[in-house]
Amino acid sequence: MNELNICPICGGTFEEKSIQLDFRYKGRLIVIEGVPAQVCKDCGEQLISARTSKDIEALLDSDIKPIKQINVPVLPFRHIAQA
Ligand SMILES: [Zn+2]
What is the total count of domains within the chain?
1
Residue 57, in any domain of the structure: yes
CA of 9 to the centre of ligand 1 (A): 5
Structural domain that includes position 55? 3-61
Q: What is the pLDDT of residue 67?
A: 93
| Residue 74 maps to a domain | no
Q: Could you tell me the CATH number of the domain that includes residue 49? A: 3.10.20.860
pLDDT tens track for 4-53: 689 999 999 999 999 999 989 889 899 999 999 999 999 999 999 999 99
Q: 80 lies in a domain?
A: no
Checking 56-64 for CB contacts under 8 A at 24+ apart, the result is 56/21, 56/23, 56/32, 59/32, 60/23, 60/25, 60/30
- For residue 47, the CA-to-ligand 1 centroid distance in Å is 10
Q: How many angstroms does the Cα of residue 14 sit away from the middle of ligand 1?
A: 8
* Residue 28 phi, psi (nearest 5): -115, 150
Give distance in angstroms: CA of 73 to centre of ligand 1. Answer: 29
Q: How far is the CA of 10 from the centre of ligand 1 (A)?
A: 4
